[in-house]
Structures are given as C-alpha cells and as structure tokens.
Amino acid sequence: MSDARSLTPQLPVLQLLIEGQWTDPVEGGTFPVTNPATGQRLCDAPSGTAADVDRAVKAARRAFESGPWSRMTGRERGRLVRKLADLLWERREEFALIESLNNGKTFRDAVRGDVAPGAGTLAYFADLAGGVLGEVLPVAGPFHTYCLKEPVGVVGAIVPWNYPTCLLCWKLGPALASGCTVVVKPSEYTPLTALKLGALALEAGFPPGVLNVVTGYGDPAGEALARHPDVDKISFTGSARTARRLMQASAGSNLKKLTLELGGKSPQVIFPDADFDRAVEACFWGIFGNKGETCNAGSRVLVHERAYDAFVPRLAERAKALRVGDPLDPSTEMGAQVSQRQLDIILGYIETGMKQGARVLAGGERDLEGEKSRGYFVKPTIFGDVKPEMRIAQEEIFGPVLSCLRFRDDAEALSIANGTPYGLAASLWTRDVARAHALARQVKSGVVWINCFNEFDDAAPFGGYKESGWGRDLSHHALEGYLQTKAVWTQLPSLP
Ligand code: NAD
C-alpha cells in the first residue's frame, strides 16, 4: 500500500451523471464538501433537486424498458459489472484517498475496509448475473407452468457516509446483475466517490441511463427519489429515522419496494472460558475500527462477572494507547469523525453516560491535541459499570464509545443482548461450542459470530432483525431483493 501523503487527490467531475452525460443541476445549487480531519472545505458538489431526480428516473426508465440494457443477456451484463469491478480495484488507492480525505477514516481503512471490498462485491455479483434461475412448477392438470425471475425495474440507491464506496457496491452489484437500472443518491457528507464510480461506469461501457448519480441533500434529493411514482424500489442504508420517512413516501406514492439496512447496538458476549487475547482484540477493533462509525460496531461488551475485572481493564489500557490523528499518516490507527454534527452527537452521549453514572475508563472527551483541534477527533472512550437501561447501552452512538456491562448467567446475558430495539449483529466468545450454538439460536440478530467478529464475505447475507431493518445485502439473498417472480401457464393439449 502506498503512503497516502505521496499521492495527489483526483477529485471527480463535480456534476450530476444523468443518461451518460455530466450535467449541472436544473436549479444550479451546490453544497460544501468538508475534510473532517481539518474542518476545511474540499470542494463544492452539485445539489440535485426533484427536477434532477425526475430527469435521472426517466433516463433509468428508458434504459430499463428500451435501451440496449433491456436486451442484454445476464452474461453480457455480468461482463460489464466485472469490468467495473476491475476498474475500481485498479484505482482502489485513488478512490481510498478521496474517501479518507472526505470521510476522515484512515487511508488503510479506506483501502481495506471500503474500496477493495466494494470491488470484490461487484465481482461476486458479476459472476451471479448469468446464473439467475427460474423453475418448472409441478402443478396439477395439463399445463406447462414455470417461474421467470425478472428485474424489479428502476432502483433508487440511497447510501450513507460511513462506507460510501462499499455500501454503494452492495446495492449496485445485485441491482445491475439482476438487470435493474439505478439512480444513486449518495450522502451529502460523502458524495465524491459515487461520482467517481459513475465515471468508471462510463469507462466500462455501461449504456446511458443504467447508472445515474444525483448528489444532494436527503431532502429534497433523497425524498424526491423516495416519492417518485416511477421508481420501483428503494435500497437504503442509513438511520431508522430516515427509514420511517421512506416507508411513508412509499405508502404515499406507488408502494415501491424497500430494502432497509439500519443501525445496531451489537453485543459482544464474553464468557469466562473465552480466549481473552483474541476477544480483547476483537472487542477493541469491533468498536474503534472505522472510528466506531459502523452499523454493526460492537458497541456493547457484556462480560461474565467472573471475567469482568480481568477483561475490561485490558481493553481500557489498549484504548489509551490507540494512535488517533491524521488519517493519511500510515501510523495512525483512528481518524476523524465524519462531521461536526456527528462529533456533537458523540460528545453528547459521552456526557449522558457520565450523568447516568457510568464510569469513564478511557477517553471521555474530544481530542484537541495539536493539529487535531482543527478537526473532529474524539478520544477512544470506554465506559465501565454500564447498566442495561442507560442510554449509552440502548441507543446507537455511531462513534468510538464502548459500553461494558456485567452479567451473571446465560439467561441474563441473553436478556441484555436482546434488550434493545436493534438486532443487527452479535458475537459469542466461549470454548463451549454447544453453549455457543444454543445461544446463537436465541440471539435476535441477523448475524451471529462465534469466537470471531466482523467477518464478512460476499457469499454471506448481512442485515437486521427488529429495527435494524428488512431484507439483506450481499449473497444470493440480496439478488432476490432485486428480482420479482412471474408464473407463466401454458395449456397443453390433452394426450390421446
Ligand atoms: P441518514 O439516514 O441520515 O442518511 C442516509 C442517507 O439517506 C443519506 O444519503 C441521506 O441524504 C438520505 N436521506 C436523509 N433524509 C432523507 C429523506 N427524507 N428521504 C430520502 N433520503 C434521505 O443516515 P446517516 O447519518 O447518513 O448514516 C448513519 C446511520 O446509518 C446510522 O444510524 C447507521 O447505523 C446506519 N447504517 C446502517 C448500515 C447497515 O448496513 N445496516 C450501514 C451503514 C450505516
């Protein structure tokens, strides 16, 4: 991996991408894009409104119904998606540099945790594109009856700021492989890599209108996409608050389908027989990786009362030694929070934790040392003596703040683990395999890791139970979300 400080940032074309053309927003507005490590403006991005969304949806509709895309086979589409994957992989450092400058994550995290996995996901779905299968149905009577799997149509992909490239690829891979066309609305905090990916799609040779990018604020740009009567599906990753608005928009327009990947309050449960060395590392990076701005961050560590006093101080010592600083410096382990707003939210939760009686074991404040005072840095924070009902144990903080709780037995561990509105991920640390598998069935979350954490593979589905969302990203389960099923009946002549 290169030293990011020796690379020159390549900003994208700062226009909207509609029907294969770069174009200014109808109303001509822009919004500022900031570097969270310095608080300085990086550039201004085009601020799309309902009129631009409408142009992009019409382009996507034309491409879906009558453009070359509509006549391509799955294998031909797969070849284009593969080309896009290869181009992204070749330019992973160029993309990661922009991601790091715009999001505040370390360059290393941007390459390994965001851009490279995004390219991998595109490649995975490229391979699935030619293999979408229907089935012949064993109906009663003289009929030949089969199921066709068809693309749902025009998809609005609304993505957040924490993994801007990777999460966009989680949507684009299955959408394009299944034959849908897409209008992308990236987060207003991190709009740059979506525009760069749009340019790669042109380079790869995608027909006009298949992939459109409209940057802009959630309201009006995202809202217009969600309310548009000719969008067939919204694939969304973001907050539960926005998800509720999307449901209302769907209900108030054409009942468009929704996939919702929302937040989490993932527990890591540590039993006394756990491998402590590995569990400490996993709990540590589970919350401080990507500066805690990860939907499945292990933001609660539940430790058995016999293990608590040996385990938690080790985490705290590790947190005090974490190197926070310039995201481009290869020695930095944790960068800046994405925005002033996110910084304020995190500091607010830290204050609430203290007021509600949790004990600060590490961090607990903004990091204002030296150059860091210009940006949005937080000291890695660990709270001990957290009670399940405290707000820092219930609500998603989306920052480098870990809550440590004690439990007495399996029943109490389960009750605390399941005792939030969320259900995205969980991990269980014990050498007792039978106990781990028994508990895995009782944990209410879309992913359970046993003696590991944060393992991802394109072949494994990811998504939530409860208020963590509906539908799945990744794997063939995600592809299903972009397909609909048609039953075709043919009357057969009676046999003599
Ligand atoms: P957000 O909901 O504010 O924004 C997400 C996207 O929705 C952005 O593109 C935003 O512009 C858009 N948006 C906002 N208001 C809208 C509206 N009224 N209509 C349509 N679109 C609108 O969330 P965020 O602050 O960007 O992201 C952080 C949240 O996302 C966290 O809660 C986190 O847990 C969650 N998240 C979940 C996953 C997952 O896979 N489950 C992954 C990443 C983030």
Q: What pLDDT shows up at residue 33? A: 98
How far is 366 from 421, CA to CA, in rounded Å?
A: 28
pLDDT digits (tens, 9 = 90+) for 258-283: 999 999 999 999 999 999 999 999 99
Q: Whose CA is nearest to atom 22 of ligand 1?
A: 218
Query: Using an 8 Å Cβ cutoff, are 179 and 69 in contact?
Result: yes
For the segment 160-171, the average pLDDT, to the nearest whole number, is 98
Q: What pLDDT shows up at residue 495? A: 72
193 ligand 1 Cβ < 6 A: no
Q: What pLDDT shows up at residue 60? A: 98
Tokens at 319, concatenated: 């947190």
DSSP line for 3-53: -GGGSPP-PPPSSEEETTEEE--TT--EEEEEETTTTEEEEEEE---HHHH
Whole-prediction pTM: 0.97
Domains of the chain: 4-262+470-485 (3.40.605.10), 267-458 (3.40.309.10)
- Which phi and psi angles does 426 have, rounded to 5°? -155, 160
| Whether the predicted pLDDT of 290 surpasses 90 | yes
Query: Using an 8 Å Cβ cutoff, are 478 and 472 in contact?
Result: yes
Give SS3 for 80: helix
How far is 291 from 275, CA to CA, in rounded Å?
A: 25
Q: Which residue has the tokens 């030694």?
A: 321
For the segment 382-390, the average pLDDT, to the nearest whole number, is 98
Position 201 confidence tier, pLDDT thresholds 50, 70, 90: very high
pLDDT digits (tens, 9 = 90+) for 22-35: 999 999 999 999 99
423 ligand 1 Cβ < 6 A: no
pLDDT digits (tens, 9 = 90+) for 24-69: 999 999 999 999 999 999 999 999 999 999 999 999 999 999 989 9
| Catalytic residue annotation | 261, 295
Query: Which percentage of the chain shows pLDDT scores above 70?
Result: 100
- Which phi and psi angles does 386 have, rounded to 5°? -80, 140
| Whether the predicted pLDDT of 178 surpasses 90 | yes
Q: Which residue has the higher pLDDT, 494 or 487?
A: 487
Average pLDDT of the chain?
Answer: 97
Among 25, 143, 188, 223, CA closest to 495: 143
Angstrom CA distances, 237 to 212, 243, 310, 362, 401, stand at 18, 8, 37, 31, 22
Q: What pLDDT shows up at residue 268? A: 98
How far is 454 from 434, CA to CA, in rounded Å?
A: 22
The 8-class DSSP code of residue 132 comes to: -
Separation of 241 CA from ligand 1 center, angstroms?
8
Tokens at 204, concatenated: 């790869």
239 ligand 1 Cβ < 6 A: yes
Separation of 227 CA from ligand 1 center, angstroms?
16
pLDDT digits (tens, 9 = 90+) for 138-148: 999 999 999 99
Q: Whose CA is nearest to atom 9 of ligand 1?
A: 187
Q: Whose CA is nearest to atom 12 of ligand 1?
A: 218
pLDDT digits (tens, 9 = 90+) for 101-116: 999 999 999 999 999 9
Residue 74 bridge partners (DSSP)? none
For the segment 377-401, the average pLDDT, to the nearest whole number, is 98
Closest atom of ligand 1 to 469 CA is 41
Query: Using an 8 Å Cβ cutoff, are 13 and 20 in contact?
Result: no
Q: Whose CA is nearest to atom 13 of ligand 1?
A: 218
How far is 257 from 65, CA to CA, in rounded Å?
A: 19
Taken as a whole, the chain contains a residue count of 496
User: What is the edge-to-edge ordering of all strands in the sheet holding 469-470?
Assistant: 21-23, 16-18, 211-213, 181-185, 154-158, 233-237, 257-261, 469-470
**Best residue for ligand 1 mutational test, from 161, 193, 239 (most atoms within 8 Å of Cβ):** 239
Q: What pLDDT shows up at residue 152? A: 98
For residue 312, the one-letter residue type is V
Separation of 160 CA from ligand 1 center, angstroms?
5
261 ligand 1 Cβ < 6 A: yes
| Whether the predicted pLDDT of 496 surpasses 80 | no
Angstrom CA distances, 218 to 187, 239, 241, 425, stand at 7, 12, 12, 27
For the segment 398-413, the average pLDDT, to the nearest whole number, is 98
DSSP line for 346-358: HHHHHHHHHHTT-
Closest atom of ligand 1 to 468 CA is 41
Q: What pLDDT shows up at residue 494? A: 80
How far is 165 from 94, CA to CA, in rounded Å?
A: 12
Q: What pLDDT shows up at residue 406? A: 98
Q: What pLDDT shows up at residue 186? A: 98
237 ligand 1 Cβ < 6 A: yes
131-140 LR contacts (CB < 8 Å, sep 24+) = 131/74, 132/74, 132/177, 132/178, 132/479, 132/483, 137/487, 139/489
